[in-house]
């Protein structure tokens, strides 16, 4: 008897970038401005109604993930200071630097720019915006702050709330 192949397919793509940050209120050295070589893994599956693979046998073309999410990261986070929007001390200090066309103002985040909050921001705010209408949902983001430390943010890709974000 033939086996029914009714699993759910997903795929993932990694992106690399460099950023600076500090963790306000941290009792140790993370309170200082410092940088990381970040690695982000984006996990994608097809939307409920379009379960299975596309006509090419893919969840989504890896290059499209790189094009959409990688481009967003390059434009907003790569070689940028990512700061807590309440971190007035650092924001004011950075404002003293003369900005020319090559330089970027800091990216301001609600809360501390920890791996957890950055994973959350990518999953809930960035991915739905840049992948809208493609029939896929990002259900998990791994944010590797270093090769030994990472944070995970996940969601239920079939919840109506999430599907509405991607429509
Ligand atoms: Zn850090």
Tens of pLDDT along 72-117? 999 999 999 999 999 999 999 998 888 787 788 899 999 999 999 9
Count of domains for the chain: 1
Does pTM surpass 0.75?
yes
Catalytic, out of 18, 79, 110, 154? 79
3 domain residue, yes or no: no
* Centroid of ligand 1 to alpha carbon of 9 (angstroms): 33
* Centroid of ligand 1 to alpha carbon of 34 (angstroms): 6
Query: Could you tell me the pLDDT band of residue 154, with boundaries at 50, 70 and 90?
Result: very high
Catalytic, out of 30, 39, 76, 116? 30
119 domain residue, yes or no: yes
Q: Angle 48-40-52 (CA atoms, 0-180°, nearest 5)?
A: 20
* Centroid of ligand 1 to alpha carbon of 38 (angstroms): 10
User: What's the distance, CA 61 to chain centroid?
Assistant: 18
155 domain residue, yes or no: yes
CATH code, 64 = 3.30.479.10
C-alpha dist (Å) from residue 159 to 126, 142, 155: 18, 20, 9
Q: What is the pLDDT of residue 102?
A: 76
Q: What is the pLDDT of residue 167?
A: 84
Catalytic, out of 21, 127, 142, 145? 145
11 part of the active site: no
1 domain residue, yes or no: no
Q: What is the pLDDT of residue 116?
A: 98
DSSP 52: S
6 domain residue, yes or no: no
* Centroid of ligand 1 to alpha carbon of 33 (angstroms): 8
Is 14 in a helix, a strand, or coil?
strand
28 domain residue, yes or no: yes
* Centroid of ligand 1 to alpha carbon of 102 (angstroms): 24
- Residue 75, domain extent: 11-166
pLDDT of 153 > 80? The answer is yes
Average pLDDT of the chain, as a whole number: 93
2 domain residue, yes or no: no
32 domain residue, yes or no: yes
67 part of the active site: no
Q: What is the pLDDT of residue 29?
A: 95
Chain segment 40-71, per-residue pLDDT in tens:
999 999 987 666 788 899 999 999 999 999 99
Q: What average pLDDT score do residues 20-45 get?
A: 96
pLDDT of 1 > 80? The answer is no
* Parallel, antiparallel or unpaired: strands 80-84 and 10-21: parallel
79 part of the active site: yes
């Amino acid at each position: 008897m033939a086996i029914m192949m009714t699993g759910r397919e997903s795929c993932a793509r990694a992106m690399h970038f460099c950023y600076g940050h500090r963790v306000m209120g941290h009792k140790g050295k993370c309170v200082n401005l410092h940088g990381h070589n970040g690695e982000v893994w984006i996990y994608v599956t097809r939307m409920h109604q379009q379960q299975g693979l596309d006509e090419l046998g893919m969840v989504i073309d890896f290059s499209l993930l790189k094009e959409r999410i990688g481009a967003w990261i390059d434009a907003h986070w790569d070689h940028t200071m990512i700061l807590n929007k309440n971190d007035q001390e650092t924001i004011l200090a950075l404002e003293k630097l003369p900005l020319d066309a090559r330089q970027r103002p800091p990216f301001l985040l609600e809360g501390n720019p920890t791996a957890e909050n950055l994973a959350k921001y990518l999953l809930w705010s960035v991915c739905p915006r840049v992948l809208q209408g493609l029939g896929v949902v990002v259900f998990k983001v791994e944010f590797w702050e270093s090769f030994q430390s990472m944070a995970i943010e996940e969601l239920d890709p079939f919840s109506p709330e999430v599907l509405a974000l991607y429509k």
